[in-house]
Amino acid sequence: MSKLSSIRHDKTQIDLVRMRQYRLGRVREQLKKLGYGGIVIFDPVNLRYATGSRNMQVFMLRNPARYVFIPTEGPVTLFDFPNCEHLSEGIETIDEVREAITLSYVASGNHLYDNAKQWAKEMADLMKQHAGDNKKLAIDYVPSVGAIELAKEGIDVVDGQEPIEHARSIKSKQEIEAMKISVRTAEEGMIRMQQALEPGITENELWSYLHQTNIAQGGDYVETRLLNSGNRTNPWFQECSDKVINDGELVAFDTDMNGPFGYFTDISRTFYCGDGEPTDEQKRLYQTAYEQIQSNIELLKPGMSFREYAEKSWQIPDEFFPNRYFTVAHGTGLSGEYPYIVYAQDFEEKGYDGIIQPNMVLSVESYIGSPGGKEGVKLEEQLLVTEDGVENFSDFPFEPKLLK
Summarised one tens digit per residue, pLDDT across range 259-309 is: 999 999 999 999 999 999 999 999 999 999 999 999 999 999 999 999 999
CA 236/CA 181 separation, integer angstroms:
28
Using alpha carbons only, what angle is made at residue 209 by residues 205 and 214, rounded to the nearest 5 degrees? 140
At residue 314, what is the residue type? W
Residues in the chain: 404
Residue 331, strand partner residues: 337, 362
pLDDT score recorded for residue 376? 98
> What is the structure's pLDDT at 10?
76
Mean pLDDT of 18-36: 98
Question: How confident is the model over 361-383, as a mean pLDDT?
Answer: 98
Task: Please compute the mean of the pLDDT values over residues 387-398 and round it to a whole number.
Answer: 96
Q: What is the mean pLDDT of the chain?
A: 96
pLDDT for position 27: 98
- The pLDDT value recorded for residue 8 is 67
Given a cut of 70, is residue 1 above it in pLDDT?
no
What is the SS3 string spanning the chain? CCHHHHHHHHHCCCCHHHHHHHHHHHHHHHHHHHCCCEEEECCHHHHHHHHCCCCCHHHHHHCCCCEEEEECCCCCEEEECCCCHHHHCCCCCCCEEEECCCCCHHHHHHHHHHHHHHHHHHHHHHHHHHHCCCCEEEECCCCHHHHHHHHHCCCEEEECHHHHHHHHCCCCHHHHHHHHHHHHHHHHHHHHHHHHCCCCCEHHHHHHHHHHHHHHCCCCEECCCCEEEHHHHCCCCCCCCCCECCCCCEEEEECCEECHHHCEECCEEEEECCCCCCCHHHHHHHHHHHHHHHHHHHHCCCCCEHHHHHHHCCCCCCCCHHHCCCCCEEEECCCEEEEEECCHHHHHHHCCCCECCCCCEEEEEEEECCCCCCCCEEEEEEEEECCCCEEECCCCCCCHHHHC
pLDDT digits (tens, 9 = 90+) for 128-145: 999 999 999 999 999 999
* pLDDT for res 4: 62
pLDDT (tens digit per residue) in 244-259: 999 999 999 999 999 9
Q: Is 137 exposed, middle or buried (0-12, 13-18, 19+ CB in 10 A)?
A: buried
Average the pLDDT over 17-36 and give the result. 98
Whether the pLDDT of residue 325 is over 50: the answer is yes
Strand pairing category for 156-159 and 136-139: parallel
Give the Cα separation of 337 and 349 in Å (integer): 19
Structure confidence at residue 12 as a pLDDT band (50, 70, 90): confident
Q: Is the dihedral of CA 175, 181, 187, 192 positive or negative?
A: negative
Cα–Cα distance, 123 to 136 (Å, whole number): 12
Q: Averaged over 186-198, what is the pLDDT?
A: 97
Distance CA(3)–CA(255), nearest Å, equals: 18
Mean pLDDT of 395-400: 96
| Model confidence pLDDT, tens digit, residues 96-117 | 999 999 999 999 999 999 999 9
- Percent of the residues in the chain that have a pLDDT greater than 70, as a whole number: 98
